[in-house]
Amino acid sequence: MTFCSKFHPKRFRLLWYFVGTYIFFSTIIRLIFIFWMLGEVDTSFFKIGNTLLIGFFFDVGTVSFFAVPYALYLLFFPKKWYGSLFDRIITWFAYTLGLVIFLFSFFAEITFWEEFKNRFNFIAVDYLIYTYEVVKNINESYPIPLLVGGILLLTALLLFRTKRRGIFQKTFNNETTFKQKLLPTTFFILIAFVFAFFVKNKDAEQFENRYNNEIAKTGIYSFFAAFQNNELSFTNFYKTLPVNEAFSEVKNEFRKRGDSLLFPEKELIYRNISNTDSLPEQRPNVIFICVESLSANFLESFGNTENITPTLDSLAHHSLFFTNLFATGTRTVRGMEAITLSIPPTPGRSIVKRENNQQLFTIGEVFKQKGYQRNFFYGGDGYFDNMNSFFGGNGFNIVDRGRGFLLDASITTTRTNIEDEEVTFENAWGIADEDIYNKVIKVADKAHNAGEPFFDFVMTTSNHRPYTYPEGKIDIPSGSGRSGAVKYTDYAIGEFLKNAQQKEWYKNTIIIIMADHCASSAGRQELDVKNYHIPGLMLNVPNVAAAKVDKMASQIDIFPTLFSLLNWNYNSNLFGTDILQMKPEGERAFLGTYRKLGLLKKNDNVMVLSDQKVSNFYQWNRETNELLPLKEDETFLKEIISNYQTADYLFSNGGLKLNSLGLEN
């Protein structure tokens, strides 16, 4: 028996055929992604060759996990029963199931890549949890019968081809001994063992080009890697400073702003922010509209020529218009985290989705100090992405399209359902923006009649795949793509403002409009800075003239800026600062993915912290969106580490909790 035949005894013929089929199709998917991103991926001979070689390596590791259970079955199944009815049933079933699983995963990868330009990551893991929204979204976005039919047809063709080539016959009719089966079984177990304990998904990332890194990965392996690693310890994986030094850096920055630390000797940032002009405080109502996936480049104000945001482009001339504003992350929960907690992003999951994230100091606490009613509005079920638990557990009333998911008994809040008769249109993610705004107006009327100032946090859903919305509202058909969804989103804002202006409470109400994140965040750079650029507008601010504000700032700064405009004296545990009072050297924006943490400064220098205690320093070219390597700046490095390290430390050690600040829950 030759060395090759020792690895390929006849009893293992079907298993090896399955391995080869998997690797073949996985390579096809990899090539599809290469051609898909042909203008972005590095296609130089050695880079593309290494991308495919690393991909092959991960394919072998991935398929070994599928192979081990059947290999063990083959090893221990007695020779005298080869080809028995039981053996045939198990073999046909296992092979068919394996084909269906990997074909389904390949189809799923293509749809996931279309949306995120990534292999499966922790977003895919989250989607597995929220099956109702995701399954409904997929059903509304893609021709499901056609896709499922395609998978089943391809499975049938592969089964037919396998049978016709005599693979099943060779697997059932042979005299392979236990000893002969031992070597291939050991081989598969060894490969699976190595990948389980020594190979990490990030080991595929051997390139400067992010697309090469993603294409080199294998989808199924990436999925399970994300399932295991959705939180990262900052102290274990990132460059750090001594804790007291990190806090000293951040506290010194607060002192420069004129803030008074209330616990200067502790690892806390709780401080008093005073109205230095001694002007009387103003307490208007505040409605904050967090717009799903509103990239800056959708607006004509930033060069778009499609005329899909006429309302926002008009408002830009009648508001405080923040033109150099950046999101902290790439998902809605990251935007919510940044806005409510006013904190740089922590590695791994957003705090909105973590445990122990209730009774924290949020912007809602500042509004509470000033006597405001606080409401969170969402057009879907706020169970999704843990939104209801986060907002409800931090003092907000909940207004959502509840479908029966109950809040934890420990959360004391008022939950109001959006009833069927209040809904004119609904898709997978929730009701149309017009419907949610109508509910906002109803709740505002009630609060105004009760004499209570209100702060409303409104999360929209219409600008999201499947991009469907009520017909006849705009000149782009529903479901035709992102541009239509953006234009409907803009239209709904316009209608909301028209209706709100008819209300008595409007003249004493500030409207803030800002995106949660951009519509697309993927790029070939370590951080795709351009795809963090978002618009921000403040309307109807008392005694404040319309103006364009071009200071570089972050989502975390919007509400500290508002509080300053209202002349509030208040205690704060927020990292954000008043944008209008920023000095050029203080202008900055925090940008992050679940692994990469960036700091962008006024001169367009950007530093990125990565796990494995790596940092990289770049010059960002706004025209080309390229990151050009620079020699590392120690002062800059100290600044980025201190901000991210203290943010992570505060959450991990209770420093964001109300009771740690001497406040009542």
3-state SS, one letter per residue, for 326-351? ECCCCCHHHHHHHHHHCCCCCCECCH
Q: CB–CB of 434/451 below 8 Å?
A: no
Per-residue pLDDT at 465? 84
d(CA 355, CA 22): 38
Read off φ and ψ for residue 604, nearest 5 degrees: 65, 20
The residues, ordered by sequence, that sit 6+ positions from 193 with a Cβ below 8 Å of its Cβ are: none
Q: Is 130's pLDDT higher than 80?
A: no
What's residue 323's pLDDT?
Answer: 97
Please give the Cα distance from 587 to 591 (Å, whole number). Answer: 14
- As given in the structure block, the two tokens for residue 426 are 């609904």
pLDDT(2) > 60: no
Lowest mean pLDDT segment, chosen from 325-339, 378-392, 439-453: 378-392
State which amino acid sits at residue 339.
I
Rounded Cα gap, residues 389 and 392, in angstroms: 5
Instruction: Over range 119-137, report the average pLDDT.
Output: 66
Residue that is written with structure tokens 């008022």 in the block = 414
Task: Check residue 384 and give its pLDDT.
Answer: 86
The backbone torsions φ and ψ at residue 347, rounded to the nearest 5 degrees and listed phi first, read -65, 150
Residue 4: pLDDT band (50, 70, 90) is low
Q: Which two tokens stand for residue 145?
A: 């019968």
Confidence of residue 237 (pLDDT cuts 50, 70, 90): confident
Q: Which residues are annotated as a binding site for Mn(2+)?
A: 292, 332, 516-517
Model pLDDT, residue 326: 98
- 462 close to 489: Cβ distance less than 8 angstroms: yes
pLDDT in tens, 519-572: 976 667 788 999 999 999 999 999 999 999 999 999 999 999 999 999 999 999
Q: Decide: 194 and 181 in contact? Cβ < 8 Å.
A: no
Contact criterion met (CB below 8 Å) for 140 and 239: no
- Mean pLDDT, the chain, integer: 92
Q: What is the DSSP letter of 316?
A: T
At residue 133, the pLDDT reads: 59
Q: Please state the three-class secondary structure of 203-269 as a single string.
A: HHCCCCCHHHHHHHCCHHHHHHHHHHCCECCHHHHCCCCCHHHHHHHHHHHHHHCCCEECCCCCCCC
Summarised one tens digit per residue, pLDDT across range 43-87 is: 999 999 999 999 999 999 999 999 999 999 999 999 999 999 999
pTM: 0.80
pLDDT at 520: 76
pLDDT for 407-428, tens place per residue? 777 788 889 999 999 999 998 8
- Annotated binding-site residue numbers: 292, 332, 464, 516-517
d(CA 298, CA 305): 9
Q: Looking at residue 115, what is its pLDDT?
A: 75
129-to-122, 133, 135, 230, 499 alpha-carbon distances in Å: 11, 10, 11, 14, 37
Tokens of 578: 């008043």
The SS3 call for residue 290 is: strand
Cis peptide preceding 466, ω within 30 of 0: yes
Residue 104: count of CB within 10 angstroms of its CB: 14
CB 459 within 8 A of CB 331: no
Peptide bond into 542 cis (omega under 30): no
pLDDT at 622 over 90: yes
Q: What percent of the chain has pLDDT over 70?
A: 95
Contact by Cβ (8 Å): 454, 368:
no
When pLDDT is averaged across residues 259-272 and rounded to a whole number, the result is 96
Q: Which residues are annotated as a binding site for substrate?
A: 464
Q: How far apart are CA 225 and CA 215, in angstroms?
A: 16
Q: What is the pLDDT of residue 438?
A: 97
**69: helix, strand or coil:** helix
Active site residues: 332
**pLDDT value at position 411?**
80
Give a three-class secondary structure readout of 123-165: HHHHHHHCHHHHHHHHHHHCCHHHHHHHHHHHHHHHHHHHHHC
User: What is the reported pLDDT for 611?
Assistant: 81
Find the Cα–Cα–Cα–Cα dihedral 366, 367, 369, 375, rounded to 10°: -120
- Mean predicted confidence (pLDDT) in 621-635: 93
Comparing 119-133, 154-168, 222-236, which segment has the lowest mean pLDDT? 119-133
